[in-house]
Structure 1
Amino acid sequence: MSSDFTTSPSHPTDQTADATVPASDAAPVTAPTGGDALNVGWIGLGAMGGPMARVTAQAGHRVTAFDMNPASLEAVAPDVAAAPSARDAAAGADAVVIMVATGPQLMSVLFGETGIADVLTRDTVVMVMATVGPAAIEEAAAKLAPHTARFVDAPVSGGVARAGLGDLLVMVSGADGDVAAARPLLDAMASNAPVVGSKVGDGQRFKVVNQLLCGVHIAAAGEALALADSMGLDIAQVHEVLGAGAAQSFMFGDRGSRMVAGAFDDVRSALDIFVKDMGLVNEAAGLVGQEAPLAGAAQALYQRGHDEGMGRLDDSVVFRLLGGGTRGTRGDGASPSA
């Protein structure tokens, strides 16, 4: 299989960029009963895909996975069996879950030189849980139609910790019968998996809107705290005080705390993910003629961070990109040079 869907711990290609939203009171994952246990082929074991595959196996499904990175396969053993190729993982599976990073990677998995399309049957459920955008998912589903009639669009939100608890939000779209066939897997991975549309692509559309909000909110948090820093304010106090008022948002709370700490090497959601996802947002907006000036500004900011070598740092590094921490005061009230 082409190396263009390699995943690795240092470059979490499938990691959702709106990571670590508050956990729900989800019940522990339980094993399915009898006939609900599925043979699952799994492709992509990055930061999100790995824990998602493991929790699916722990729920009683038989999961066989492929990833280009041997360490990713070792990380989910013994719960998840390793396959030597994507085709081997998919062969004979009731369902195939694909958790890669981009539309081109998805097309390579399905139709590349050693793609899986030819080993699928008319009854195989293909469930794409990555964020690849509406255009890519619709192209993949149309091209795959001669091989399998079942296709589910199911991008995720929630972050790594919740992925390992089976506590994700999954935005599901597809035909009723296809979604019903995938429901045992959704129940293993998600505490909330609403059907948001009957058409493949609607799940991606929901995720694009989600990423617009997340990407703009992170950028706004970075800009606000950088401004506070430049004015000589204690940014830890700014974060605490404003977080108790109308300016609070999840991203200001979550990413803002990382900005205050300045630990941008502790990567929970890489900046490069938003380079990709804000591109998908602006592509989707362009296709329907919708102005998206805030999304465009946020995309330019993330692209600038990538160009300045920050792409693999935590996305909270936008604070530093905007000059935060290089002037004024930090969270302990001391100047940066102190």
Structure 2
Amino acid sequence: MSLNIAVVGLGSMGYGIAMSCLRAGCSVHGVDVVPETTARFVAEGGEDTPLAGVLPSLDAVVVVVLNAAQVESVLFGEDGLVAHLRPGALVMACATMPPDFARDMEECCAAREVHYLDAPISGGSVKATEGRLSVMASGTAAAFAAADPILEATAETVFRLGDAAGAGSAMKAVNQLLAGVHIATMAEALTFGMTQDIDPGTFVEVITKCAGNSWMLENRAPHVVAGDYTPHSQINIWPKDLGIVLEAAKSVGFDAPITETALAQYARAVDMGLGHQDDAAVAKVYAEKAGLVLPKARS
């Protein structure tokens, strides 16, 4: 590829996406609110030209920020990018956001003759780095055509869910319901096991080979066993993402009590000051209430 692209948001997922595009031969302009992160990306091969000077020449902007408000700010806020993109350029939006908001962003981009792909992602930071993400995408045929080289570089699986924005974000909400509940349930089961004198390491060894296993349990429970809460996915993500789920559920009169319970545990974790820790740290909510001592980090 020889695409000229910008990746806005070099967090754990965005950085991996940017590096995957670099490996595929793109010219990549990385943008992040943390200057040290941007500098690290430049040192690894990213473009060092200020983004404002290259916007009209970009083929695509990949937006990997936290939430809908940040997406709107990046695209249409003060110094928003869309106004400076050429007709036929692409915006590929990877954040988790309400489906109605994704549809609004597609409409606003179309008014500027810019393609918009609703493309939330899943797989975690490791798969982002490896270019093996799953993408739940929806948009016009032209948006998919513009995004195909980027999807090939960054994704192992691309689900083409419809010809208009919104369907991708709706599917991501379903995924986040399950993922958020599974992490909280992992924490509940692991700490419940401790009350029954089951060592967390034994819990992982046994349950990952039994019917109670899940991808999230297998991925996150080892973080608790290691006492390592270095954030691959932060606690702070879940009040936002499960809030999107509950907002969508409320809009159609759907009752989601298990999601509500999981959200309450993440909210408690934020109140405990754990918001920037790995989401496996929700186990600390259960441990505190039960008077349990979780494994410490290995020195």
In the superposition, the TM-score normalised over structure 1's length comes to: 0.82
Correspondent of 1:144 among 89, 93, 109:
109
Residue identity opposite 2:33 in structure 1: M
Write the distance in 2 (CA, Å) between the matches of 1:214 and 1:147: 36
Name the CA shift for 1:67/1:252 in 2 (closer, same or farther; >3 Å).
closer
Map 1:294-313; keep pairs closer than 5 Å: 294-313=258-277
2:118 aligns with: 153
Write the distance in 1 (CA, Å) between the matches of 2:140 and 2:222: 41
Shift of 1:81: 0.7
Map 1:167-178; keep pairs closer than 5 Å: 167-178=132-143
Write the distance in 2 (CA, Å) between the matches of 1:327 and 1:232: 14
Map 1:209-220; keep pairs closer than 5 Å: 209-220=174-185
Shift of 1:329: 7.3
Write the distance in 1 (CA, Å) between the matches of 2:156 and 2:30: 23
Write the distance in 1 (CA, Å) between the matches of 2:73 and 2:294: 46
Correspondent of 1:319 among 279, 283, 286:
283
1:18 aligns with: none
1:81 aligns with: 47
Contact 2:208 2:218 in 1 (8 A): yes
Highest relative contact order (Cα 8 Å, sep 6+), 1 or 2? 1
- Secondary structure (helix, strand or coil) at the match of 2:287 reads coil
- Secondary structure (helix, strand or coil) at the match of 2:127 reads helix
Shift of 1:83: 4.2
Identity of aligned residues (%): 35
Contact 2:105 2:116 in 1 (8 A): no
Residue identity opposite 2:26 in structure 1: H
What do residues 34-60 of structure 1 show as CA deviations (whole Å, max 9, x unaligned)?
xxx212122221121112112102201
Contact 2:68 2:95 in 1 (8 A): no
Write the distance in 2 (CA, Å) between the matches of 1:56 and 1:73: 15
Contact 2:137 2:160 in 1 (8 A): yes
Write the distance in 2 (CA, Å) between the matches of 1:199 and 1:74: 36
Map 1:255-294; keep pairs closer than 5 Å: 255-264=220-229, 266-294=230-258
Write the distance in 1 (CA, Å) between the matches of 2:246 and 2:253: 10
Shift of 1:79: 2.0
Residue identity opposite 2:83 in structure 1: D
Shift of 1:315: 0.8
Write the distance in 2 (CA, Å) between the matches of 1:42 and 1:256: 31
Write the distance in 2 (CA, Å) between the matches of 1:89 and 1:226: 52
Write the distance in 2 (CA, Å) between the matches of 1:326 and 1:295: 22
Greater share of helix:
2
Contact 1:232 1:328 in 2 (8 A): no
Contact 1:226 1:325 in 2 (8 A): no
What do residues 271-309 of structure 1 show as CA deviations (whole Å, max 9, x unaligned)?
111121111111122222222111111111111111121
What do residues 228-273 of structure 1 show as CA deviations (whole Å, max 9, x unaligned)?
1123332322232222211111122221122222222x22211111
Contact 1:125 1:151 in 2 (8 A): yes
Map 1:1-338; keep pairs closer than 5 Å: 32=1, 37-77=2-42, 78-85=44-51, 87-88=52-53, 90-264=55-229, 266-323=230-287, 327=291
What do residues 93-132 of structure 1 show as CA deviations (whole Å, max 9, x unaligned)?
1111111111111111111111112112321111111222
Residue identity opposite 1:82 in structure 2: D
Write the distance in 1 (CA, Å) between the matches of 2:30 and 2:283: 38
Write the distance in 2 (CA, Å) between the matches of 1:258 and 1:218: 12
The RMSD of aligned alpha carbons is 2.0
Write the distance in 1 (CA, Å) between the matches of 2:82 and 2:163: 23
Contact 2:30 2:41 in 1 (8 A): no
Moved more, 163-172 or 71-80: 71-80
What do residues 146-203 of structure 1 show as CA deviations (whole Å, max 9, x unaligned)?
2124111111111112111111111111011210121011101111112122120111
Name the CA shift for 1:105/1:261 in 2 (closer, same or farther; >3 Å).
same
Name the CA shift for 1:38/1:125 in 2 (closer, same or farther; >3 Å).
same
Name the CA shift for 1:296/1:137 in 2 (closer, same or farther; >3 Å).
same
In the superposition, the TM-score normalised over structure 2's length comes to: 0.92
